[in-house]
Structures are given as structure tokens and as C-alpha cells.
Amino acid sequence: MIRFTPEQERFRQAVARFVDVEVAPAAEGIDERAEFPAKLFRRIGELGYLGLRYPEAYGGADADMVTYCLFAEELARGSLSVAAAAAMQSLMGTHFIYKYGSEALRQKYLVPALRGELIATFALTEPNAGSDVAGITTRAERRGDHWVLRGGKTWVTNAPVADVLTVAAKTSGERGMQNIALFLLDRVTMRGITLGRSIEKMSVRASVTGEILLADVEVPAEHLLGGETGGAEKIGSILSEIRVMTAAISVGLARAAYQAALAYARERQAFGKPIVEHQAIGFKLADMLTQLHAATLMTYQAAGRLDAGLPLAREAAMAKLFASEMAVRVTDEAARIFASYGLAMEYPIQRYFRDARFLLPGGGTSEILRVVIGHDLDWDRGDAFGAG
């Protein structure tokens, strides 16, 4: 059973109003133009939403994971593109600065990023290294009081507009994950950082994505985040949080698709009555609602476990796996209910259908998540239903 506090319910309502008034009306336009939502992004920062997971000392709200998921879910209901950009900023793009950066780096980069004044991102994936983190080839070499980075990253969210990048690089030529380190790069002050090709996508088109090329970039030693090794473990430490967040935005997108399909089924007439009254359509909606309900329960149970400090790796993987696959199924069924109009650009259902595909690789592909779950198949855990 999910229990939200009165404060969390009021917070959800506030975010929902913001989404209804400012995000949803802009979603179609920014998607068509494949345009980064700069004004909305800054507005989200002004409202304090980018700092939800961070201490008040840095402009954050010190909120729990359940509250963060409520924000992510509602934002995705209005625009998955906006939710993706905000998620990168509020988690991966700033987490390592806060966790491993000096106080000077926090004040220079974290504080303005949480206000939406700087755009931050995280660069890990390479053309031949996605899930295989050990295969990254970007190199960092120590030269006196600084490091020199060379290599390239791809599928970097916010890359075309990012001011600050946390980059994973190898500190030696050996294959493996022991020699991975994290570096904070400033695109304004550091030479050799260039934008490669922008990746035009069929989904989350307003969440701009691209390649980053590093050509002998000199990085001050203090921009090494957390030591010359252990980068893989640092990345792994936030993976569960990323997966629970991805489950939450999956729920938000599926909610939008379900609500659109239900409204259309109540209005569309066929054979003398609304199509919602035809069993074939009613069954579709019933299955969609059931799957959506189950994914919501799994998501907030996982968020509750994180807040309670309970083991989370398996539950986060299960929540992300089920919720993302659910969003693909629900948006597909919603498009089928619209029939030919599911293909029409005048209805947002086609955007929901396209955007759902984005959820599958983020935070780990479904195949990788099944491997994670497969490592812990024990059902008999006393705390299985104890949180959330």
C-alpha cells in the first residue's frame, strides 16, 4: 500500500498545476522543433525542483525519493522531453559534483546548476561501450598539476547545450573497471571540448542529445572527482536511484497516454455508442489501467525502500524493467484505440507512442536488468513488502 503524507500530496498538486499550465501547453511545439526547453528548464530551477534531492545549504530541498518521484512522474505526464532534461540535471549531471567535489566546486557549479543557470550532464557512453562500462576508451593522463583527457562520448543528454560535464575516463590503458575515474569539465574555460554531431531522435526530441569530443583537454587536478580509481563504483552507487526515477517517468508518460485514450474512447462513437462501451475497447483500457496501477505500486515501493535505507538493487531493477516495458505497451494500446488518428500529428498520442521507446535503454536495458534481477531470485525476504 502506498501512503503519501499530506505534505507530499500538496507537493504533487503544486507540480501538477505547474505542468498543466506551463509544461503541457508547450510540449507539442518543443517536440516539433526538437528544441531544448530553455525557458521551462530555467523555470523548473526557479521553482526549486532541480534541487529536490540536495541539501538546503546548496539551494536544495533535502527531499526524500518518494517526493522526487512525484515530481518526475508529474513532469513526464506533461512532457517526457522536459522530464528527461530535468532528470539529467537533478541527478546524474550534478550528483558527482555534490558527492565528490570540493566546496569550491560545489559553489561554482552545483549551486547555479540547481537554480537552472548552468546546464550539467554526465558523459559515460561511447560508440563501443554502453552497458559494457569496462570497455570505455576515453583516457586521462596525469601531467604535473593537471590531467589531459582525450576521447569521445556519444548519446550524451543535454550535450548540445551543456555548460558542465562529468566525464568518465580511464586513468590507465588496462581493460577493466578498476581504473575508471570521474572528471568535471567546464566547456567555457577548458579548451579542446567540442560538440560532435547532434543525434536526431524520433522520441524525446526536445531533450537534445549529441556527441562530445575531447582533444587534449587540460583539466585541473581539483576537478578529479573522488580519486583516480573507483569511478565504476561511484556510478553504480546512484544506479538504483536512476532506475527508480526512470520508473516514475514511465508511470507519468503512461498516465498521459491512458488518460488520452480514455477521453477519446468516451467521445468517439461507433455503431451507435461510445467505443468505450464496446467490450474490445473496454478490455484494452482495463488491461492498461491494471498495468499502470501495478507499475505505480512497484515504483513507489522501491522509492520507499530507498528512503528507509533498505536493500534496493533488485527492487529498483524490477521497478524500472516493469514500468518502462509497461509504458511501451500502454502507449501502443492507446494508439490502437485512436486507430487511424493514432498516426495523426494533431493528437499527442503519437508523441507518447514515440517517447516511450526512450525509456527502454535509460538506466539499463531490459536485458541488463534481467541479469541484475537474476542474481537475486530469492523470494523469501522478510522486508519484501515492508516499505513504501
What residue spans define the domains of the chain?
6-114, 120-229, 238-374
CATH-assigned architecture of domain 6-114: Orthogonal Bundle (1.10)
CATH-assigned architecture of domain 120-229: Beta Barrel (2.40)
Instruction: Name the burial class of residue 31, with classes exposed (0-12), middle (13-18) and buried (19+) by CB atoms within 10 angstroms of its CB.
Output: buried
- Ranges of residues in the chain with a pLDDT under 70 are 1, 380-388
pLDDT score at 385: 46
Could you say which of 1.10.8.10, 3.40.50.1470, 1.20.140.10, 1.50.10.20 is the CATH number of the domain covering 238-374? 1.20.140.10
Grid coordinates representing 142 are 596525469
* Nearest-angstrom CA–CA distance, 106 and 348: 39
* Nearest-angstrom CA–CA distance, 105 and 225: 10
Reported pTM: 0.94
pLDDT score at 215: 97
pLDDT score at 383: 54
pLDDT score at 381: 57
